Chains A and B, each alone.
Chain A
Amino acid sequence: MAFPIGYLLDTLVFAGIFGILSLSLNIEFGHTGLPNFGKVAFFMIGAYTSALITLSGKPFIAGITGAMIVSGICGVLISLPAIRLREDYLAITTLAFGEILRLILKNEEWIAGGVLGLKGIPEALSLKGVQATLYGHVVVVYISLAIFFIFLRFLEKSPYGRLLKAIREDELAAQSFGKNTVFYKAQSFAIGSAVAGAAGSLYAQYLSYIGPDLFMPIVTFTVWAMLIIGGIGNYKGAILGSFIYIGFERGARIMKDYLHLPVDPNNLMFIIFGLLLIVVLLFRPEGVLKEEKVKLL
């Protein structure tokens, strides 16, 4: 067998989930100009919330809804103090928030199992057979991806989206035209966080196990890399970036199985990836897909 279908489906699921994360960063940073370097925190909140809900016997839909609500609320709570900060300070603050949260989940066993995490998280669609289950995951993830993509594009093409972009371009000018920019920035952060929470929920039900070590800062950086490579400010680019990254990662893993390199393919993958990020920033800072002129609906 040249290429197991299961492997392809697994890749698709990952690309889809990270695509949703990348979309969520795009509304915050690409669209509103808020550099959230604590993305992983909201992904984690969503994953844990959803896992706890579904483990208590509630259906997946309750899990993902709960994940979005809790992540969204946390987004607002973090944003209220942080959002008035300069962008570098906002970045450092959100990064620190993610680390604190991970430390708490790691140390407080009573919340969600501590270091061991949570096991046996039920799947969204329980189907018979491994293959069918995998197909089920693909369907669930891609329906979610499509919903969020359409939703965010809709926002972008409304006066609301125009306003968010104006805040990104010049906050003081937006204020001078009567826009309560702090309020809108908090909303954008909340939407981004809720969407990231949904991605976390999908991640938890797919892996069926989550633990604090899955939510290191590298996850945040990966999402940033996806968005920058795909195209900041472009929702299609955000998803494309996820596909490029995941494709790249899986490519390296396949190489590991079929080629015998003097270099560990995993290390090589990250090294090339870091270089790619730098090269994109240097030579095509707008990413593969440029931001488009948006015509309202």
Chain B
Amino acid sequence: MPEINILQILFNSIVTGSLYILVALGLTMTYTLTKFPNFAHAEFITIGAYIVYAVTEQLGLGIIPGILMAFIVSGFVGVGSFLLVYRPLERRKSTMVQLMVSSIGVGIVIRYLIQQIWGGQDLRFKTLEFSAFNVGPIRMTMLWVIIIVTGILLVVIIHLLLTQTKIGKAMRATAANPGLAQSCGIDIDKITAIVWFIGAALAGVGGFFKAADTKLVPVLGWSVLLPAFAVIVLGGIGSFYGMIAGAYIIGLAENFSIIPLLSLGLSTDYKTAVGFIVIILILIFSPSGLAGIDWGGIFKRKKHRGES
């Protein structure tokens, strides 16, 4: 059994968690506003990665324009699918399951368009070199540092957006009570569209990071979608701060699961199942996520028992 470097695992967990923040933010926001789990979010993730590939590898325009393009294109794909499919369905009083299935349809269309354009084979970012270096006992690459910084920056920006700006407050109001928000003069259609754009755009950037760290395939988004569901379910759907906590908890759980897996002689492939298992456990024991657990109640009950 290889030696276990706890600090390294912690660092890796933060990288994973930061990546999940990027991809899960849009998922949880659109879930709250349009009230269904959007399976096509996987393809919003994938398309971003391919756009970066096209701009940097195929056109040779460099990484910054690549990421910017990914942000824009993924954003438009997201808002486009909302305006063309989900909103018309919503207006026709479709059920949640119908919306879910339609998002599967949207996902299939995007995935096979990608496959048509770039092919189904594995692609790698060849022109991008991320230097690797050691900080004390921790091995890191520039990419991982960028992912962490992006994650933290994003949290700060979204926090400021939600609390300090008019549009952020309108978003919160719309999520909490669309009817009330509308009667307060908030254009909820516009707000919802903006949220779809930002959510998909960030997912696209997250997709690039994931692809740069591993490889680029049309099913890239799928490998992130279920953990992303775990993150938002854990954090409580629609909760921004819960989602952040959820992202790092899943990051930690995935990376630390390597220790028991190795000691049991099981494949480390199972690390990807950690998120799935968390989903199942959370949904069964506390369907509203961490926020839904009656923390006060747990202590109270214990106290009562102590008294009696």
CA distance A281 to B107 in the complex (A): 15
Q: What are the 9 closest A-B residue pairs judged by CB atoms, nearest first?
A: A274-B108, A274-B109, A277-B105, A96-B276, A270-B112, A267-B116, A107-B267, A81-B284, A274-B105
B279 near A267: Cβ-Cβ < 8 Å = no
CA distance A85 to B233 in the complex (A): 13
Within A94-108, the residues touching B (CB, 8 Å) are: 95-97, 99-100, 103, 106-107
Question: Is A209's beta carbon under 8 Å from chain B?
Answer: no
Total A-B pairs, Cβ < 8 A: 122
Question: Is A128's beta carbon under 8 Å from chain B?
Answer: no
Residues of A within 8 A of B106 (CB): 274, 278
- Chain B interface residues (CB < 8 Å from chain A): 36-37, 85, 88-89, 92, 94, 96-98, 100-102, 104-109, 111-113, 115-116, 222, 226, 229-230, 233, 266-267, 269-270, 272-273, 275-277, 279-280, 283-284, 287
A92 near B101: Cβ-Cβ < 8 Å = no
Main DSSP-derived SS at the B contact region: helix
CB distance from B151 to the nearest CB of A (A): 24
Residues of A within 8 A of B88 (CB): 282
How large, as a class, is the contact surface on chain A? 35 or more
Beyond the given pairs A270-B109, A273-B108, A281-B102, 17 more chain A to chain B contacts, judged by CB atoms under 8 angstroms and listed by A's residue number, are A29-B97, A35-B100, A85-B283, A88-B36, A88-B96, A95-B226, A99-B276, A103-B269, A103-B270, A103-B272, A221-B108, A224-B104, A228-B98, A267-B112, A267-B115, A275-B105, A278-B85
A264 near B116: Cβ-Cβ < 8 Å = yes
CA distance A224 to B88 in the complex (A): 21
Query: CB-CB contacts of A57-100 with B at 8 A, as 1s and 0s?
Result: 00000000000000000000000011001111101110111011
Nearest A residue to B97 via CB reads A35
CA distance A268 to B108 in the complex (A): 11
Residues of B within 8 A of A196 (CB): none
Query: CB-CB contacts of A262-297 with B at 8 A, as 1s and 0s?
Result: 011001101101111110011001000000000000
